[in-house]
Amino acid sequence: MKKALIIIPNLLIMGFILFFIIRYANARAAENRQNEIAAFEKMTMTTNQIIANYLEDEQHLCDIWANYINRSAEAGSPMTAEEATSFIRQAKILPEIEGHLVFLDDPNREGISTAAKVSDPDDYTVSYRNINIFDNIESVGEEREAVSLTRAYTNPMDGVQSIAFLHPVSILDSEAGELRNALLLRVVPLSRLEQKLVFLKGGYENVEISLVDKEGNYVVHGKSFKNRNFFEYYKSYNASTAGQYDQVIKEITGGTGTMVIKNVKGEDCILSYTPLATMKIWFLLAYIPEKDLVGSRSVDWLLLGVVSLGFVILLVFNSIIMMKYNRKLSEAAQEANQANQAKSYFLSTMSHDIRTPMNAILGLNEMVLRDSRDDNIRMYSKGIKTAGNTLLSIINDILDFSKIEAGKMELINVDYSFGSVLNDLVNMVKKKAEDKGLSFNLDIDKNIPMILNGDEVRIKQVITNILSNAVKYTRQGGITLSASARRLEDQPDVIRLRICVADTGIGIKPEDLKRLFVAFERIEEKRNRNIEGTGLGMTIAQSFLAMMGSHLEVESEYGKGSVFSFEIDQKVIKWDPVGDYEEAFRRSLEEQVNYREKFTAPEAKVLVVDDAPVNLTVFVNLLRQTRIQIDTAESGDECMPLFMSRHYDVIFLDHMMPEKDGIEILKEMKAAAETPNAKTPIICLTANAVSGMREVYTNAGFDDYLTKPIDVERLEMMLLQYLPADKVAPASDGGDTVGHALPDFLYQLKEIDVSAGLTHCGNEEAYMQTLRVFLANAAGNAEEIERYGAAKDVRNTTIKVHALKSSSRVIGALKLGDFAERLEKAGDRGDLETLDRELGELVSRYRQLAADLEPLNAQSVSEEEDGRPLIAEEKLKEIYGALCESCENYDFDSVDQLVKDLEKYKIPENEAARVDDVRKAVDNYDYEVIPEILSGKV
């Protein structure tokens, strides 16, 4: 299991829980904040009441003074200003409180104070001329609130910031003798009010209580408030629109509430405001930084930290446990993978290792079938072919099944001829059925379109499996293959093809029907034990059909027979009807002959590379009748010089080879510069038929691939595809000169192994020439052996016997060669007795063989048939020179090669005898006489 699948959900859950905690903590904090603000607001209200009470008390004292003065006036004994101040002086207790009696109708707003000026102890005159606190005095007087007082101002008598409580009084103007309106001021230092505020802080350490008037001018203000006016202060430090600013003024002067404002440091602060009780012109502002009001949230963060740490520990613990289990799972998975790889390796190996020898078996067997004239051998060979094909079929079934299981089976849709598919099916099954005495019937809809598009191979395989089973499990009666098609309305270019195979076989019990498609299951194993098969056929068929969007339907009656059918949709490429297929097939049967090659291509050149010589032999022989020029190589190192020097039309390259494998060689070939084979198609030969190989080979750069054992028809089809058209000619009906190059009597000669001879000589033509040379020299050589034997010339006898050994083996006279070898060895050890005793028999058999080969003389190639080019005089002299030089250097291999080179040319008549002498000398290993033959010509 991937770590991410554990870690991510864990982190998500943790994140969610932390998110929840934070949200919850925030909600609680918000709630606490609201509670704190409510409590703060409550404190503000309490403070408001206390201040109001204080102000009322002060106002009350002012009123008492005024009432006493006014009652005196009402009683008809009004007080003069001096008497009134004297009264007040006596009535007041606190020295810092003063009483001012001011005549507002005086231009200088002068009056008398109860206390003298601090700067002049004799001066009691007070003037409010320059102190503007009476602008609204009329309205104050009319509305007469519970408290009438001034804003904070500077007491002109002592310069102390003060407030004054007001009450109008009637004073007797002693000079005029009449009553005069005056205003009595109870002047209280502002500090007294500030002291009250200091003690009203309650539980709030940093609260600042301020009083402002309607315009926002401070009466009293805390140290945090700047400016002379609170609203100006608000405007300076709080970004707000004109509307918001007006709204703030409206709220603060309109009632009780709380708002958040910024202070000079940009911090959020709580401002609780309320109009002072009993008067409308002053407002109380309680200010506190929000961080000082709202309780610390450290507990929340601690909780959060602990929870987070717990989560981390849990995650680490979970991860460790998960890693432990993952490791175990990983080990188990690794083991399973190894087992699976072992299985794949086994299948691959089995495929390769079985199919490789099968290539040799079936290929060589094909040669036997072609070449053998012995009926018994041909019968045995056919048996091998049948068994081999069965074995291949089983292997193929297993491989297909493994591909399907691995999910690597793929459908390859191609255009195909439906008639051709039927041909293949009938060819394959009809013979089997007839061999079992069963009738094979066809019921083919004439209107089935000719060319369809689909996976021809797999469709054929499905039908083959069904037909094979039908043949296997039918003992009497017959098998009927039906095919029909109908158009699909919604898909105008598609037909639905229905294939049906009906047999009169043993049938299947209803309870066994379910097991029919189970791999390796064989129904009624005991009863059918003699019927070969893997039990995979139906499973594979069903799987292929499923891949094609179809399924196999089975109707069966136990003991009477079965009907297997399926429908598949196939795209129509050509609507021409397939026609009366049964009739066409009958005709083709009549015309059918034994195997014949499809074409000849004598000008075509093919290189085949395989590390197994026998495979090379099979490959060469399979194509022998096509007359294609085939070069072989057993390794990459061997093939590269050929690849670089000679042009080929097609190259077949085996995949599995020691040292360099086919893919490595292919890379070398592709990388090679200045090669005549830059555009030559390269086809992979492989016995490896497991799934996925097609991709491997095409990706590696091969143009195509051919599986082993090599099917000659597929090989020929492939060559037809890749060989240049101008080099390919249709096979002639009777003019197979190559096929008749070896006369039939050769095959009857017990002394001759034609195959061995062909192998040694390379081709029929060379073989025939060698035979003729052997024949031409036989009489002379036999005579010489006898002569040297009779003369007891052991050395020359041995040399001659050695030559006989070699020449016999070259033509395939293997037993004669072995006989000569034995006498050669006897000669070498000086065993005269053996030589005397057996030399005669050797010479006798030698002559008998020559006699048997005598018919070859009648078949000499005529001058007219010799299409070889006439050798140039200079070329001939050059070869003569090279022959002499090679003989002198005892380089007999070069001598042999030079003679072979000579055979490529037509020799002028005047030199023909000399060249013939040279050839005979080479055949007889008389290399020393060659310089003599050529003397005077070099």
Partner 1 sequence: MKKRVTAFLSLSLAVLLLLPGCAGQKKTEGAFVPKYDKNTEFSLTVAGSYSNFESLEAEFERFYEYYPNASLQYVTMDDYNNVISSALVSSEPPDIFTTTSSMVGNDKYKDMFDACEVLSDPALEIDYSCIRSSLIRATDSGDILMLPIFTTSYGMLANMDIFEKEKLEIPKSFGELTEVCAKLKSAGYESPVMGANKFTGPGMFNCFAYPMFAYNVLKNSGQADSLNALEPSAGEYMRPALERLDKFVNSDCVDVEKCSEEIKDDYDSVIMRFFEGDVPMMLATGDVVSGTAKRESKSNAFSEHPFKYKFFTAPAGDDGGYFINSVSICFSVNKNSKNLDMTNEFMRFLISRKELGNMAGLKRLITPVDDFSLDEVYSALAEIPADRSFSDKQTGLKDSAVRQFRAAIYALGNGQMTVDEVIAGYGSLPEE
Which residue in the set 157, 184, 499, 685 belongs to the binding site for partner 1 (CB under 8 A)? 157
Strand, coil or helix: 270: strand
| Shortest separation between residue 303's beta carbon and partner 1, angstroms | 32
H/E stretch holding 542 reads helix 537-547
Q: 610-613 contacts: CB < 8 A, separation 24 or more?
A: 610/634, 610/652, 610/654, 610/657, 610/685, 611/635, 611/654, 611/657, 611/658, 612/356, 612/360, 612/654
Q: Would you say 36 or 213 has its CB closer to partner 1?
A: 213
C-alpha span between 67 and 74 (Å, rounded): 10
The residue within the footprint of partner 1, chosen from 103, 153, 705, 774 (CB under 8 A), is 153
Q: From the CB of 208, what's the least distance to partner 1, in Å?
A: 10
Which segment (40-48, 106-114, 149-157, 678-686) binds partner 1 by CB under 8 A?
149-157
Query: Hey, what are 54's tokens?
Result: 């204080």
Verify binding: residue 221, partner 1, rule CB under 8 A. yes
What are the start-end ranges of the H helices in 407-447?
418-435
Whole-angstrom Cα distance, residue 42 to residue 395?
Answer: 97
Among the listed residues 3, 28, 89, 228, the single contact to partner 1 using CB under 8 A: 228
Pick from 86, 161, 308, 484 the residue near partner 1 by CB under 8 A. Answer: 161
Question: Which stretch, 130-138, 447-455, 766-774, 855-863, contacts partner 1 (CB under 8 A)?
Answer: 130-138
Question: How many residues sit in the footprint of partner 1 (CB under 8 A)?
Answer: 30
| Among the listed residues 141, 143, 176, 156, the one whose alpha carbon sits nearest the alpha carbon of residue 66 | 141
Interface with partner 1 (CB under 8 A), residue from 21, 39, 50, 160: 160
Closest CA to 635 of 604, 606, 656: 656
Piece in contact with partner 1 (CB under 8 A), picked from 63-71, 150-158, 270-278, 285-293: 150-158
229 interacts with partner 1 by CB under 8 A: yes
* Burial label, 734 (beta-carbon count in 10 A; 0-12, 13-18, 19+): exposed
| Residue 236 beta carbon to partner 1: minimum distance, rounded to whole angstroms | 7
To the nearest whole angstrom, how small is the minimum distance from the Cβ of residue 39 to partner 1? 25
Q: Which long-range contacts (CB under 8 A, 24 or more apart) does 836-845 make?
A: 836/789, 839/785, 839/786, 839/789, 839/797, 839/801, 840/786, 840/789, 842/785, 842/801, 842/804, 842/816, 843/782, 843/785, 843/786, 843/789, 845/751, 845/816, 845/819
Considering only the stretches 17-25, 123-131, 361-369, 769-777, report the one whose residues sit in contact with partner 1 under the rule CB under 8 A.
123-131
Smallest distance from the beta carbon of 225 to partner 1, in angstroms? 9
Closest CA to 449 of 414, 513, 494: 494
Closest distance to partner 1 from the beta carbon of 221 (Å): 8
For the bound state, the minimum distance from the C-beta of residue 42 to partner 1, rounded and expressed in Å, comes to 26
Per-residue interface string for the shown chain with partner 1, residues 320-359, x marking contact by CB under 8 A:
----------------------------------------
Q: Out of 226, 660, 727, 825, name the contact with partner 1 by CB under 8 A.
A: 226
Residue 503 near residue 477, CB atoms below 8 Å: yes
What does 836-869 look like in DSSP terms, one character per residue?
A: HHHHHHHHHHHHHHHHHTGGGGGGPPPGGG--PP
φ, ψ of residue 364 in degrees (nearest 5): -65, -35
157/448 with CB nearer partner 1: 157
Cβ proximity to partner 1: between 190 and 669 the closer is 190
In the region spanning residues 42 to 71, those forming contacts with partner 1, defined by CB under 8 A, are: none
In Å, what is the CA distance from 688 to each residue of 656, 657, 662, 676, 696?
9, 12, 12, 30, 11
Q: Is the CB of 112 or the CB of 479 nearer to partner 1?
A: 112
CB of 137 to partner 1, least distance (A): 16
Note whether 549 and 494 are within 8 A (CB). Answer: no
Q: Which stretch binds partner 1 (CB under 8 A): 157-165, 174-182, 198-206, 481-489?
A: 157-165
For residue 146 the two structure tokens come to 């519970």
Task: Give SS3 for 410.
Answer: coil
Choosing from 131, 450, 882, 929, the residue that interacts with partner 1 (CB under 8 A) is 131
Q: Is 154 in the site for partner 1 (CB under 8 A)?
A: yes
Instruction: Tokens for 371, please give them.
Output: 């070449």
For residue 185, give Cα distances in angstroms to 128, 169, 477, 758.
12, 10, 141, 150
Establish if 104 lies at the interface with partner 1 (CB under 8 A): no
Instruction: Compute the distance between CA of residue 414 and CA of residue 106 in angstroms, rounded to an integer.
Output: 124
Shortest distance, CB of residue 122 to partner 1, whole angstroms? Answer: 14
Q: Which of 118, 672, 779, 872 binds partner 1 (CB under 8 A)?
A: 118
206 counts as binding partner 1 under rule CB under 8 A: no
132 in contact with partner 1 (CB under 8 A): yes
Residue of 111, 156, 533, 827 that binds partner 1 (CB under 8 A) = 156
159 makes contact with partner 1 (CB under 8 A)? yes
Task: Identify residues 262-291 at the interface with partner 1 (CB under 8 A).
Answer: 264-265
The verdict on 125 binding partner 1 (CB under 8 A) reads no
- Phi then psi for residue 600, to 5 deg, are -125, 150
Say whether residue 117 binds partner 1 (CB under 8 A). yes
Residue 253, phi then psi, degrees to nearest 5: -90, 5
Stretch that binds partner 1, among 125-133, 312-320, 793-801, 816-824 (CB under 8 A): 125-133
Asked if 382 interacts with partner 1 (CB under 8 A), we say no
Cα–Cα–Cα angle for 452, 453, 459, nearest 5°?
90
As a whole number of angstroms, the distance between CA 16 and CA 300 comes to 17
Q: Which residue from 2, 4, 119, 909 is in contact with partner 1, where contact means CB under 8 A?
A: 119
Q: How many CB atoms lie within 10 A of CB 436?
A: 14
Is residue 201 within the footprint of partner 1 (CB under 8 A)? no
> Shortest Cβ distance from residue 168 to partner 1 (Å)?
22
**What are the residues binding partner 1 (CB under 8 A)?**
96, 117-119, 129-133, 153-161, 189, 191, 221, 223, 226-229, 232, 236, 264-265
